Chain A
């Protein structure tokens, strides 16, 4: 993990408040693992003082690309970054997705910008798999072409029916599960809203499969020091019973195996 001063290479608008930011970050690009993130110090925020966390979408050659949605003052300032301007990054941070075992069929489930956390896992997987992408409307389905270019099967769902199946992404997942060959054992990798992650977890549990989910939580330091980003997980005791403990999303996460997570009632 390190800090790197990274010049902006390119900023590309995808429409509807989505952008791709490409940075020259050779050291982070070389070491980043799928599902890891960077903590970005946004220049020019009005009154914000914290860094902002973003998954690494792509890491190619010496460049790092982030896929982000403009939602507040930090991402608004990011949007204005011009090529040549420098950005201070901390990264790569956290524990990402483990490599998928050879005998498992990788099934990715992305909600909105959750696709950003999943791309590297697909690009580096030992075998091709399938991705279900869901959003409220077609313009929130992001970068599905990039997954097609990897020769992955892409299935879409939108709540308003403007792209793919009308409904939730889990419905598309259920269709696929119902049709899959009997000897196909799926392994889920998911990133998106908590409701979606929980729904994926339930399916994994019901089928006896594994699911890895990437969580989202407000962060302070991003380095394990402030304990702002904690998540409750199960902790087995030697006598076979169970208790809970906090783990840090920025350090032990953001990716966890779904069966370890103790979900909040509000999730």
Chain B
């Protein structure tokens, strides 16, 4: 329908990030690459998107943090991460040895955080792009608020845009009043690409114990259950903007990936399926 593959095979150029194929990891499901390098040749990937990084370390939520639901799972990890300095010093060097671009997923709880974290990767070798998470449903203080209110989203994107010259990918949440409007808003404020979509707000209840299963009470639904929802969002966004879109949500095989591409995505990211699938 759109985006015919470039002659020469699977290679794509995503907002200036040259990828040998359009398949990326989805943030938070692939650690910092090291974890999976034990079973997968990271050189085979189109790009590696690492777990969300904030300016300072974050300890995340209490446990239980994950529950399996029909054809999916709900997670409320709470964006636990070692913080930007430790990431650059201890995790990034490993990723530099591969012929695969690294994209750093970034988040904050204030506008100042967004500017700070985006600026921290200027000139840092081995970082090829930033993915701005304005859509995590787990952080009451900030992530959610930025993601679903147009004004907040605009300010966060602007703050990050001013702070970096790296390709800036804005990751949109699914539960928006209008995905087309948000996609345009991101494009107008300097996004070079869009990631669609993040997890769906969700919860699970233990009916015997009569209480929510997750310590955080609510979390985000991912996996095959959300694929049709994500596909429709990509379809709607692709009609609204010219910047490239990374489709994600419930990919378990080439079929779902191709559906995203046909709906208008330039690249795709695999998340939850990495917990189950293996190269062999």
Contact = CB atoms under 8 A, between A and B. Distances in A.
Interface in A143-177: none
Contacts of B71: 47, 49
Contact of B80 (A2, A217, A227, A231): A227
B30 A225 contact: yes
Given A227-B65, A228-B77, A246-B60, A41 B276 contact: yes
Contacts of B39: 1-3, 90, 223
A218 B60 contact: no
Contacts of A231: 63
Nearest to A49: B223
Nearest to B272: A49
B278 A225 contact: no
B38 interface: yes
B35 A225 contact: yes
A2 B274 CA distance: 14
B221 to A, nearest CB: 12
B43 to A, nearest CB: 18
B220 interface: no
Contact of A51 (B65, B275, B279): B275
B70 A51 contact: no
B99 interface: no
B66 interface: yes
A257 interface: no
A77 interface: no
Given A48-B68, A49-B68, A246 B278 contact: no
A175 B226 CA distance: 55
Interface string A242-253: 000010000100
A3 B77 contact: no
A221 interface: yes
Nearest to B38: A1
B270 to A, nearest CB: 12
A5 interface: yes
Interface residues of A, number: 30
A220 interface: yes
B63 A223 contact: no
Contact of B72 (A5, A49, A223): A49
State the main secondary structure of chain A at its contact with B: loop
Contacts of B280: 3-5, 88
Contacts of A185: none
Interface string B55-81: 000011001111110111101010010
B142 interface: no
B59 A246 contact: yes
Contacts of A221: 29, 31, 35, 274-275
B68 A88 contact: no
Contact of A50 (B28, B65, B276): B276
A26 interface: no
B36 interface: yes
B217 to A, nearest CB: 15
B31 A224 contact: yes
A225 B31 CA distance: 4
A210 to B, nearest CB: 25
B24 to A, nearest CB: 15
Given A49-B68, A223-B36, A230 B63 contact: yes
Interface string A110-130: 000000000000000000000
Which of A217, A220, A246 has the most B CB atoms < 10 Å from its CB?
A220
A217 B77 CA distance: 14
7 contacts: A2-B39, A218-B67, A220-B275, A221-B31, A223-B35, A230-B63, A264-B63
Closest 7 CB pairs of A and B: A225-B31, A228-B66, A47-B70, A3-B278, A225-B35, A224-B35, A221-B275
